Amino acid sequence: MPAAARETEPTLEIHDASVLAWARDTLDRAGDPRAMQQAVLDAVAGNARWRGEECLNLLAPEAPMSPTVRGLLSAEVGQRAAEGHIGPANRWFVGTKYIDEIEALCVELLKRAFNARYADHRLVASMIGNMTVYAALTQPGDAIMSVTQPFGGHSSNRADGPAGIRGLRVHDVPMDPIELVVDLDAFAGAARQIRPTLVALGASMTLFPFPVREMSAIVAEWGGRVFFDGAHQLGLIGGGQFQDPLREGSCVLTGSAGKTFSGPQSGVIVWNDPALTEPLTDAIFPTLAATHQVNRVAALAAAAAEFLAFGPVYMAQIVVNAQALAAALQARDVPMLAAHKGFTRTHQAIADVRAFGGGEAVAERLAEANIITNKNLIPTDAPAAWDHPGGLRIGTTEVTRWGMTEPEMARIADLMADVLHERRGSAAVRADAIELRRAFPTLQFCFPPEA
């Protein structure tokens, strides 16, 4: 489009106007398509250098993939089309001999990683896994219950996500704002009134286990079911470092492959009841997945194999590190949630940073110093405050995989406290953050590269 025509057209962009303007300027200045492509490569390289080599990444939903797993994302098979279920009789396209092998290996590895009878590999996101559950196990107009956002609930289980798209009536799972667990008595009362078809447990801000067994028993009174959205805790669950929802009464476990599980960003779904296999897999194909990125499936399979070898030890250290980092921050006068009960049983620690300007400002200041976290709603926030929450969410998955342990958690807490208490400028803290990151150049908990 010529520049003149572009400027006279009315635009309504949901994206940040200044960043889009930067991109237009960059492309205009580049002039020819080859230079335009170079601009893309430059941005990718910039991120790889900064986030990959110079930052302490404490973003809870992230995990570094092993070189083998990451390499598979650019595998030849990523350009092949393979819709349908595994096996030549189930495919629309021919030529899937090796693709069937890759996908079957992935399914069987996932079953082993999660000790489940059934697994599916075709979810390009965990969001789609939750949509699968709603499509398969609910009817429009049904009531469900899920955790609200200030307690860590995720849009996928609320009215503004897949549950809402399915036309479900979404009610709140009552939570205890101090203990940060389900208020079981309040839940029993509310659930017996609402009689939900499904109760979605699990959350994005997640510190402690859910009473899956007790809640499953309550909803079973009217044939309701519990499903566990373990997006964040998937690795912890598979590694035996958290609760075990499938054995506690949850009918399905969904999760993100790229969070604690440390595989390629995408979704995992596992279950044990044969009666669920047809509804769930029908919802996946042909409803929610077509070409499903076989390169990603290969990476997921390879990550699951690594997980079988290293998962329990890796996941245990993640939790130890989260507890150590939370305790170290609290000791440096950064108030942490759930200090009275050991801070956390997961990869996350949550700081209450209202006294330091709120989550948004604090996350920005830390990022200036190459320490990457995110603003987060906490129970004292109103849901409407989603953009200016009082909390800061801190995750230890990535620093753990780089080999950091408790002494480094104390060091990270020093650096964070320096920023929050404004003891040192961001440039000075940044230099220390880079030095700490560079002292751990080798990714752990994966097979050594072939000689």
* Count of residues in contact with ligand PLP, rule CB under 6 A: 15
Interface residue with ligand PLP, options 238, 249, 267, 379 (CB under 6 A): 267
150 vs 376: CA distance, rounded Å: 8
Stretch that binds ligand PLP, among 92-100, 197-205, 343-351, 404-412 (CB under 6 A): 197-205
User: HEC string of the chain?
Assistant: CCHHHHHHCCCCCCCCHHHHHHHHHHHHHHCCHHHHHHHHHHHHHHHHHHHHHHCEECCCCCCCCCHHHHHHCCCHHHHCCCCCCCCHHHCCCCCCHHHHHHHHHHHHHHHHHHCCCEEECCCCCHHHHHHHHHHHHCCCCCEEEECCHHHCCCHHHCCCCHHHHCCCEEEECCECCCCCCECHHHHHHHHHHHCCCEEEECCCCCCCCCCHHHHHHHHHHHCCEEEEECCCCHHHHHCCCCCCHHHHCEEEEEEECCCCCCCCCCEEEEECCHHHHHHHHHHHHHHHCCCCCHHHHHHHHHHHHHHHHHHHHHHHHHHHHHHHHHHHHHHCCCCECCHHHCCCCCCEEEEECHHHCHHHHHHHHHHHCCEECEEECCCCCCHHHCCCCCEEEEECHHHHHCCCCHHHHHHHHHHHHHHHCCCCCHHHHHHHHHHHHHCCCCCCCCCCCCC
378 part of the interface to ligand PLP, by CB under 6 A: no
- Name the segment binding ligand PLP (CB under 6 A); options: 9-17, 51-59, 224-232, 435-443: 224-232
Residue closer to ligand PLP, measured from CB, 123 or 436: 123
Which lies closer to ligand PLP via its Cβ, residue 229 or residue 432? 229
- Does 303 engage in binding with ligand PLP (CB under 6 A)? no
Nearest distance from residue 74's CB to ligand PLP, in Å? 20
Report the 10 Å Cβ neighbour count for 258: 28
Q: Is 231 in the site for ligand PLP (CB under 6 A)?
A: yes
Does residue 162 bind ligand PLP (CB under 6 A)?
A: no
By CB under 6 A, residue 154 contacts ligand PLP? yes
Residue 209 vs 370, nearer CB to ligand PLP: 209
Using CB under 6 A, which residues numbered 316 to 335 contact ligand PLP?
A: none
Supply the minimum distance, in Å, between the C-beta of residue 99 and ligand PLP. Answer: 23
Answer for which of 126, 197, 260, 376 binds ligand PLP (CB under 6 A) is 126
- Tell whether residue 409 is a contact of ligand PLP (CB under 6 A): no
**Identity of the residue, 147 or 351, whose beta carbon is nearer to ligand PLP in the bound complex:** 147
Shorter beta-carbon distance to ligand PLP: residue 227 or 356: 227
Q: Is 397 in the site for ligand PLP (CB under 6 A)?
A: no
Binding part of the chain for ligand PLP, among 89-97, 165-173, 226-234, 411-419 by CB under 6 A, reads 226-234
Report phi then psi at 348, rounded to 5: -115, 150
Amino acid at 411: R
State yes or no: residue 348 binds ligand PLP (CB under 6 A).
Answer: no
Q: How far apart are CA 178 and CA 208, in angstroms?
A: 12
Stretch that binds ligand PLP, among 9-17, 227-235, 313-321, 367-375 (CB under 6 A): 227-235
Q: Report if residue 204 touches ligand PLP, rule: CB under 6 A.
A: yes
- Comparing CB distances to ligand PLP, the nearer of 156 and 426 is 156
Rounded CA separation 344/124 (Å): 29
Given 59, 61, 143, 270, the residue binding ligand PLP (CB under 6 A): 61
CB of 205 to ligand PLP, least distance (A): 8
Asked if residue 133 binds ligand PLP (CB under 6 A), the reply is: no
Is residue 156 involved in binding ligand PLP (CB under 6 A)? yes
- Residue 152 CB, shortest distance to ligand PLP, in Å, is 7
Closest distance to ligand PLP from the beta carbon of 92 (Å): 26
Residues found near ligand PLP in the complex (CB under 6 A): 61, 125-127, 130, 154, 156, 202-204, 229, 231-232, 256, 267
